[in-house]
Amino acid sequence: MHHILVIGEIAPMDDSFNAAQFLGYLAQDLVDSFDRAGRATTPGLVGGAREHAVRTKLQMVLPSMAAVATGCVIDSYDSTSNQADVILHEKDHCPVFSFSGAPEATYIPCEGVIAVGEIKSTLGTKELRDSVLKIRSIKELRRVSPDPTCFRHFGSSMIIQGAESEAIDPISNRYDQPFCFVLCQSFGVSRATLAKNYAAACAEAAPHLSPNVIVSLTGGIMLFADPVGGLLRTASGASQVAFFDHPGGNFQFLLNELVNACHRGRTSAVLPHSIYILGKHLNAMAFPEYIQI
């Protein structure tokens, strides 16, 4: 006698790939990764696990010209930022200086940095201020730019000579400075308190030195806004703070902002390798000793 084993009806496979659904899974997996990381035994390990999860997800979907790392951002004027949780930099045109390959001892020139992010579990008053100060220290770094009308786009070595109206301007043009974000799992205080503390912290320095966006995976997106409600990417011209959930997903909104930074961001025309390898001796004269043979 033959026995027939019925295992149930198998659901048909989808005929087409759904990118929005895939990114939704990616965002949910990031939320789950934050939860799993919380089981680590020390605060440092918890933070490290969450930061690693974010860097892994970003590297999966961002343009291939961008590398995702952690470390400090430097300029050629001897300034160094604190360690940043996430650094997006050019993969082919930006040197990376690292002692023994240690992430905490890795230094990346600001000329090749596309974006920088701070990763927090719960964003409260203390974490918010810490993030604003770290991002400010990065935006204050100076890219070498002998001629502001000469620039290049990230991922390209082609130098573009623009008109005076097209000159590099990190104060007025957000695409002429690193795109800086804060990503957290949730907000630890009310939106009203968060907005008040955020505005106060950013008001301590020039408005263009503020973060470009703050994103909570579960609590919404926070942006500055102008008097009529127009959403802004810095505190310049801001009179209020806006909170919203994006219909396409909060993490997906951040991804799109980072993709725009990769494609539309501009930097100085000087490729960073020569600036940092020879430094102040870049244009120095050498005086050889000649021996007749």
| Per-residue pLDDT in tens (0 to 9) along the chain, 293 residues | 444 444 445 556 667 888 888 888 888 888 888 777 767 667 666 678 888 888 989 998 999 999 999 999 999 999 999 999 999 999 999 999 998 777 778 999 999 999 999 999 899 999 999 999 999 999 999 999 999 999 999 999 999 999 999 999 999 999 999 999 999 999 999 999 999 999 999 999 999 999 999 999 999 999 999 999 999 999 999 999 999 999 999 999 999 999 999 999 999 998 888 788 877 777 777 888 999 99
Q: Are 187 and 243 in contact (CB under 8 A)?
A: no
Domain spans in the chain, listed from the N-terminal domain onward: 23-279
Q: How far apart are CA 232 and CA 224, in angstroms?
A: 5
The pLDDT assigned to 5 comes to: 43
Instruction: Read off the tokens for 96.
Output: 């990376």
The pLDDT assigned to 80 comes to: 95
Q: How far apart are CA 263 and CA 92, in angstroms?
A: 15
Q: Are 272 and 93 in contact (CB under 8 A)?
A: yes
The pLDDT assigned to 28 comes to: 84
Instruction: Read off the tokens for 281.
Output: 């001796």
The H helix count followed by the E strand count for the chain is 6, 12
The pLDDT assigned to 16 comes to: 84
The pLDDT assigned to 4 comes to: 47
DSSP H helical ranges for 90-157: 125-139
The pLDDT assigned to 46 comes to: 65
Rama region for 119: left / alpha / beta (φ>0; ψ in -120 to 50; rest): beta
Q: How far is CA 93 from CA 67, 99, 276, in A?
A: 11, 20, 12
Q: How far apart are CA 117 and CA 68, in angstroms?
A: 11
pTM: 0.87
